Amino acid sequence: MAAGVVATLRLADWWFRAGHIGNPALYVALSIAFWYGVTRIILGWVNYLGIAKVGHRTPTGAQSVAIFTTSAAGEPLSMFDKTLDACNRIRHPHTTYLLDDTRDPQFRELAARHGAVWLELLDVPGAKAGKINAALSLTSEDVILVLDPDHVPFPEFLDRVLGHFDEAAVGFVQVAQAYYNQSRSFTAAAAAEQTYGFYGPVQMGLHGHRASVAIGANCTFRRVALDSIGGHGTGLAEDLVTAVRLHAAGWRSIYVPEVVSRGLVPEDLGSYYRQQLKWSRGVFEVAFAELPRLFGSLSWRQRLSYMTIGTYYLSGITTALMIILPYLYLWTGIQAASMRFVDLILVGGPVAVTGIVVYFLAQGWLVDRDAERGLHWRGLVLKLACWPVYLAGTLLAIARVDIPYIPTSKQAVRGQFFRLAWPQILLIAAYLLTLANVVRMRLLSTSEGSLELTSEAVWGMMAFATVPVAMSFVALFAAWQSTRPVADNAWEPIDISGIGESTA
């Protein structure tokens, strides 16, 4: 990391020179986009400096426990059969509540069959979080585990988290999230890979900075902590809102890096896009509405951590800028910066190499190192190809356009190829048209002297334009795969009788 900081300072010393300025306004835009990416790398290193791993604490049995899982119209009954059966097998004494909004009597019968309490909560505002708050007013347990209905908990789940509540200041305990369907499609594998680092070194670093993030699934809350902030937060990023408010109220968080349940990750590109749009729109609500209001009540580490999380989806804007600027030069000759392509690679290369080295070193803190180590290229490619969705979420946040809370699909949805792939198709078409125009211009209307002078700039810009296009082809494959018929549901072959023990 120290080497990376030195390399970054050298890059900044080279970048910010008067001789590198082309069009001043575009140079500023380019610098913001480029240094946003570099800054994200540095902030990741700062977070890693806080990495801490908690030890196990055996629960005393003093707390009464409720498990809340919610159901909504359209969600499959057979999935709840697996989840409620698994909840019934959890060893620590507890009461499971099914917060039901389906108007389907089969859900009540299913809850009774698995020893769960059925609470009918119809048309409660606030989606899942609203139902949680309504259930809080109808129950009295000391500790509440919020469990998404697509997650199958292990029998030892509560044994691994409840001991931490013996410390009176602890407001919530979050565990790692893992999946049982990630091998079913390219999208599922890529989406799962994106979570490996987050639930490993990132969350451990946030824990060390006392800023662990509550996730919508597998988070256990102290009731009095939720009561102190007026209940569970609502909105598109209700889990992040809740974490910020609890930390601002002085409650501590614990992150337990163990897999004590497995759930679903989106299997098709359409479901993944909807999830990412919801998150990108919701995270900006936290960054620009919640954080300013509570800023003074947070520690500087918590402020930095939450601002880093809150600006994650700005990559939609910065990626769009990095795509537009090469095309602007190749079609109009307007240049944002006057830099030799080779010099940028030589000076920026050490920062990139250091970032890659630290990324692999940090994998020593992955939750399941044997299964999760690697380049995670599918997750990276899908993230980069998802820039139009992040951009849409950012623009919707700026315009304050509300979008409905739509639960992530619990089963693969067969989509239409063009509807999923049109941004990538347009980008590939623009690239091919630009490449053809560049070749035509250089063959037919550029003098020999100009060919030599402009060679590095033109082909350097084409090289930059090639990267997002290459990512687009992978997104096209994911879109094509999402049009294929799905034979079964991910949870149907799961045998819960053999699940556990936890991955510590």
What is residue 93's predicted lDDT score, i.e. its pLDDT? 95
Of the two residues 20 and 487, the one the predictor is more confident about is: 20
Mean pLDDT calculated for residue range 42-66: 92
Whether residue 237 contacts residue 156, with contact meaning beta carbons closer than 8 Å, is answered with no
Q: H or E stretch including 252?
A: strand 252-256
Q: How confident is the model over 372-393, as a mean pLDDT?
A: 92
Work out whether strand 261-262 and strand 152-153 pair parallel, antiparallel, or are unpaired.
Answer: antiparallel
Check whether 504 has a pLDDT greater than 70.
no
- Please report how many Cα atoms fall inside a 13 Å half-sphere around the Cα of residue 150, on the Cβ side: 23
Higher pLDDT, 456 or 300: 300
pLDDT of the residue at 498: 64
Give the separation between CA 88 and CA 242, rounded to whole angstroms: 27
pLDDT digits (tens, 9 = 90+) for 316-366: 999 999 999 999 999 999 999 998 888 999 999 999 999 999 999 999 999
Go through 238-277 and write b for each residue having 16 or more CB atoms within 10 A of its CB, e for each that does not.
bbbbbbbbbbbeebbbbbbbbbbbbbbbbbbbbbbbbbbb
Residue 503: pLDDT band with limits 50, 70, 90: low
The DSSP line for 63-109 is S-EEEEEEEETT--HHHHHHHHHHHHT-SS--EEEEEEES--HHHHH
Residue with structure tokens 């992150």? Answer: 255
pLDDT at 502: 57
The segment with the largest mean pLDDT, out of 73-82, 86-95, 413-422, is 86-95
pLDDT at residue number 60? 86
238 touches 129 (CB < 8 A): yes
Of the listed ranges 180-184, 401-405, 445-449, the least confidently predicted one is 401-405
| Stronger pLDDT, 163 or 449, i.e. the higher one | 163
Q: What is the pLDDT of residue 499?
A: 67
413 pLDDT above the threshold of 80: no
User: H or E segment at 220?
Assistant: strand 219-222
Residues above pLDDT 70, as percent of the chain: 97
Task: Using the predicted structure, report yes or no on whether residue 74 has a pLDDT greater than 90.
Answer: no
pLDDT tens digits, one per residue of 391-403? 999 998 888 888 7
Q: For residue 462, give Cα distances in angstroms to 33, 346, 396.
A: 18, 18, 31
Per the CB < 8 A criterion, the answer to whether 308 and 211 are in contact is no
Instruction: Give the H/E segment covering residue 256.
Output: strand 252-256
| % residues pLDDT > 90 (the chain) | 70
Q: How many CB atoms lie within 10 A of CB 168?
A: 10
Q: Report pLDDT digits (tens) over 267-277.
A: 999 989 999 99
Q: Quick one: pLDDT at residue 495?
A: 75
Across the beta sheet with 219-222, what order do the strands follow? Answer: 117-120, 95-101, 65-72, 143-146, 219-222, 170-175, 252-256
Q: The tokens 């939450």 sit on which residue? A: 306
What confidence tier does 466 reach under pLDDT thresholds 50, 70, 90? very high
Structure token digits, residue 472: 């687009």
Token pair of 453 as six digits:
């002078």
Between CA 246 and CA 173 the distance in angstroms is: 12
Q: How high does pLDDT run on average in the chain?
A: 91
The stretches of 115-236 forming alpha helices (DSSP H) are 127-136, 157-161, 186-197, 203-208, 223-228
pLDDT given at position 500 = 66
pLDDT, average across residues 127-138 = 93
Q: Which residues of 474-496 are buried (b: 16+ CB within 10 A; e: fewer)?
A: bbbebbebbbeeeeebbbeebeb
Q: Which two tokens stand for residue 483?
A: 């049009």
pLDDT tens digits for 212-259? Answer: 999 878 999 999 999 999 999 988 888 999 999 999 999 999 999 999
Contact (Cβ atoms closer than 8 angstroms) between residue 200 and residue 363:
yes
CA distance 81 to 50: 40
Which superfamily, per CATH, for 65-274?
A: Spore Coat Polysaccharide Biosynthesis Protein SpsA; Chain A (3.90.550.10)
